Structure 1
Amino acid sequence: MQRHSLRLALALPAVATLALTACTAVNERGDGPGGGSGLAGTISGAGASSQEAAQAAWQAGFVESNPDVTVNYDPIGSGGGREQFVNGGSDFGGTDAYLDEQELAGAKERCGEVVELPVYVSPVALVFNLEGVDTLNLSPETIAKVFNQDITTWNDPEIAADNPDAQLPDTPITPVNRSDESGTTENFLEYLSAAAPEAWPHEVSGDWPVAGGEAAQGTSGVVQAVRNGNGTIGYADASQAGELSTVSVGVGDEFVDYSPDAAAKVLEVSERIEGRGEYSYAYDVARDTTESGTYPIVLVSYALACTNYDDSGKAELVRSYFEYMLSAEGQDTAAENAGSAPLSYTLRKDLEPAVAAIGSGSGS
């Protein structure tokens, strides 16, 4: 990931909290020069803080053609975003974990069929701050033991085995985790459970299961806590890692740095979960892969919408906004400004019928 992109991503969240004017994707569809769609109104979304920089970039790109439309996004976290969406408190949602069975049932009651699409794929970086050490290799088992507090100092023999050339101090390790329910946490725990099951005995959820360490609110809180400490290590969406040092993760016989390309490769070897509805594209991510060049700690963040809205005008606005997010331009904009991995052309084509179904009344 390029450092200039990371710095821009850190600047964008301040924009995301503003109500931004938006346009539709009519230019891409060829509906007329200048995007003169005649759309007007406001739509509001809420959810994953990991999407904050990408949402700001999408809104900024969307603003150029239609000054009579406003799009808001509140990065309250995945859990809050899913709750608001299911309860009808937002027009669209953002979440780093697909809806569970209870949430899916509630969303279908509200929506008819639920549109659940991966719009943002990003590495989850293991960020650390350790005086005198700029790079680290860690195997999955070592990562699990560090965050389970079974390994408590940086010169532990297991860490030294992964880093034979490093001068590791005897500094205590301070793991930093999210204090709020978080899709980033859930994705990280899924990785630990799949890649190091013997070293990680906890159930997967959006809540951190290990007492002690240090807890911080939101992605930005984790990054700040790691930056302000010494001997700290945490997990955060890579778009907000900034200048912090990051871990290269053991995959098969190699250690892999995070990057958009390495993150995208995971989705290529993952399978769609069936039985959730025609327009749900939730994926069983292959987090225990040994595929060379693959970074397995990834966050697949979804956007949620309805096939049935009470207000047809809002339905059209949501559909148009989703078209832009999933367009080649939208994916490239997110990659440039938030460090995400652009979805492939094939996957974007597969998702087109689901986008077209937004506001169609299907399942109502």
Structure 2
Amino acid sequence: MKLPLLGRIGAVALVGTLALALSACGSDNATDTPAASGGASEAPASTLSGTLNGGGSSAQEKAQQAWVAGFQTANPSVTVNYTTSDSGAGRKGFLDGSLDYAGSDSALSTDELTQAASRCTGGAGIDLPVYISPIAVAFNIDGVTDLKMTPDVVAKIFSGAITTWNDPAITALNSGAKLSGPITVVHRSDDSGTSKNFQDYLAKTAPTVWTFPVSNTWPAQVGQGANGTSGVVQTIQAAPGTIGYADASAVGSLGKVALGVGTEFNGPTADGAAATVAASPRDTTRATGDIVINIDRTTTAAGAYPAILVSYLVVCNTYPTAKADLIKGYATFAASSDGQSKAATAAGSAPIPDTLATDVAASINAIAAS
């Protein structure tokens, strides 16, 4: 494994088997392969030491586990704790200083950027897009693993306009599927970037049906709420006839909806997410180093899957000296080809495009010691 040179962070050598100090949320799923023992390495050992505390996005959970494992293996004197909660809690913890960084499926808002100016000791908060993943529309119907739905049909289900599985709008698209009974919608009950991204998809692809304001909380009085990605998935798994939305890495063997994109129906894949990001512009109103993607939900690019989230590491562009080195090292690893590969293996995410990776690296490299 190779870490790029950034700031005062030198190349590091992998060491032998290391007991990883992961946070309690599912850390046993993350693995890393230590360097073979025997024979001296020519690379200098890591000089980084200390603790980083992060938290937030439950969609990022598996990716964060992979990044923490890989980074700690390369830097045995560093401890990184990532507490899975939700994107809103992550941003709140970052802004009040209880977290060194946040994982968030939504970029900092204008108000949050103002708050970050105080939290970041005279610097600014910045968003680093490091995790790209499809949001699966997942369901539990006995004997059915795949369904096709247009954006209007999905929006009508989640708004409560379609309430049964054998509604003609569903059966017309899914000849031969045995569909009957009531539909139970499952949505996030917490402050969720995944919810915001899913609502944004509905609002832009089915604007005459989904007329609710897009926000981090669920706006429709339909179905039942569940806390976090795992809560949504567990609720769907436990009850036939349910349908919900979650990061595709978490839905396992649940049925998945192929969404109508132009004349195609595309399922939630990393390649489909990558195709959507490739078709999407950046937010040009953001300050230098603050990289936010304006996802093109209406793209009809071949293979695209527009119900995606681009998830961010939320950090300051200034930190006290010791913390700056740790943040730069960890963010560098997450955005590196090695870190992106580990996230793809652990979570099925799409690696960030090369041009975006270059710009993210430049933003990380510009993080200064205050």
Fold in common (TM above 0.5): yes
Measure, in 2, the Cα distance between the counterparts of 1:33 and 1:213.
59
Instruction: Check conservation: 1:92, 1:303, Cα contact below 8 A.
Output: yes
For 1:69, the equivalent position in structure 2 comes to 78
Q: Is it true that 1:15 corresponds to 2:27 in the alignment?
A: yes
For 1:5, the equivalent position in structure 2 comes to none
Q: Is it true that 1:280 corresponds to 2:290 in the alignment?
A: yes
Measure, in 1, the Cα distance between the counterparts of 2:225 and 2:44.
46
Measure, in 1, the Cα distance between the counterparts of 2:25 and 2:57.
12
Q: CA shift at 1:63, angstroms?
A: 2.0
Measure, in 1, the Cα distance between the counterparts of 2:152 and 2:133.
22
* SS, match of residue 280 in structure 1: coil
Residue 42 of structure 1: which of 24, 37, 51 is its match? 51
For 2:4, the equivalent position in structure 1 comes to none
Query: Counterparts in 2 of 1:1-364, with a 5 A limit?
Result: 13-15=25-27, 33-34=42-43, 36-111=45-120, 112-169=123-180, 171-309=181-319, 311-361=320-370
Measure, in 1, the Cα distance between the counterparts of 2:210 and 2:72.
45
Q: 1:332 to 1:17 in 2, by over 3 A?
A: closer
**2:217 counterpart letter in structure 1:** D
Q: 1:176 to 1:248 in 2, by over 3 A?
A: same
Q: CA shift at 1:35, angstroms?
A: 5.0
Structure 2 residue runs without a partner (length 5+): 1-23, 35-40
Measure, in 2, the Cα distance between the counterparts of 1:35 and 1:347.
29
For 1:28, the equivalent position in structure 2 comes to none
* SS, match of residue 145 in structure 2: coil
Measure, in 2, the Cα distance between the counterparts of 1:189 and 1:319.
33
Structure 1 residue runs without a partner (length 5+): 1-11, 24-31
Task: Kindly provide the CA deviation profile for residues 16-49 of structure 1, in whole angstroms up to 9, marking residues without a partner as x.
Answer: 799x99x9xxxxxxxx944513111111111101
* SS, match of residue 212 in structure 1: coil
Moved more, 159-168 or 176-185: 159-168
Q: How many residues align?
A: 338
Measure, in 1, the Cα distance between the counterparts of 2:285 and 2:222.
39
* SS, match of residue 61 in structure 1: helix
Task: Among all aligned residue pairs of Structure 1 and Structure 2, give the percentage whose two residues are the same amino acid.
Answer: 45
Cα RMSD (Å) of the superposition?
2.0
Measure, in 1, the Cα distance between the counterparts of 2:91 and 2:163.
35
Q: 1:16 to 1:185 in 2, by over 3 A?
A: farther
Instruction: Check conservation: 2:279, 2:296, Cα contact below 8 A.
Output: yes
* SS, match of residue 49 in structure 1: coil
Task: With the length of structure 1 as denominator, give the TM-score of the two structures.
Answer: 0.89
Task: With the length of structure 2 as denominator, give the TM-score of the two structures.
Answer: 0.88
Task: Kindly provide the CA deviation profile for residues 88-122 of structure 1, in whole angstroms up to 9, marking residues without a partner as x.
Answer: 11111110011111011111232213221101000
Measure, in 2, the Cα distance between the counterparts of 1:275 and 1:254.
33
Q: CA shift at 1:154, angstroms?
A: 0.3
Instruction: Check conservation: 2:29, 2:62, Cα contact below 8 A.
Output: no
